[in-house]
Amino acid sequence: MNKKKLPDIFPTFALFTRLGLGMAVPIVLAALAGEYLDQRLGTRYIFLILFLLLGIASGFVFAYRQVILIINRKTVDGEMQSRADEE
């Protein structure tokens, strides 16, 4: 009896989830910290904007590093596969 193989989408789903959460969490936490500081110090949106910008930058740096790691991993896997094919 032949079993049809399901497409392997779970690693891709995990990757997109990790990238999405890795960008969203720093932004939300930074915004909450900025809002808290604004309320505590009586300022008007100064820390919210500053921390929000830092959270956005942090999220994009995280996403960039993850993409670079994935690209490097694919390159190394491809080189290993081509070396195995040559032998």
Mean pLDDT over the full length of the chain: 86
**Mean per-residue pLDDT, 3-7:** 63
Q: Which of 19-28, 65-74, 77-86 has the highest mean pLDDT?
A: 19-28
Tell me, yes or no, whether 2 lies in a domain: no
Q: What distance in Å separates the CA atoms of residue 60 and residue 35, rounded to the nearest whole number?
A: 21
The pLDDT score that the predictor gives to residue 2 is 59
**Mean per-residue pLDDT, 6-33:** 90
Q: Coil, strand or helix: which one is 4?
A: coil
**Mean per-residue pLDDT, 51-62:** 97
Domain extent for 51: 19-86
Is pLDDT at 83 greater than 70 in this prediction?
no
Tell me, yes or no, whether 68 lies in a domain: yes
Tell me, yes or no, whether 4 lies in a domain: no
Tell me, yes or no, whether 48 lies in a domain: yes
Tell me, yes or no, whether 34 lies in a domain: yes
Tell me, yes or no, whether 52 lies in a domain: yes
- Who's near 7: CB < 8 A, 6+ residues apart? none
Split into its structural domains, the chain has a count of 1
Tell me, yes or no, whether 13 lies in a domain: no
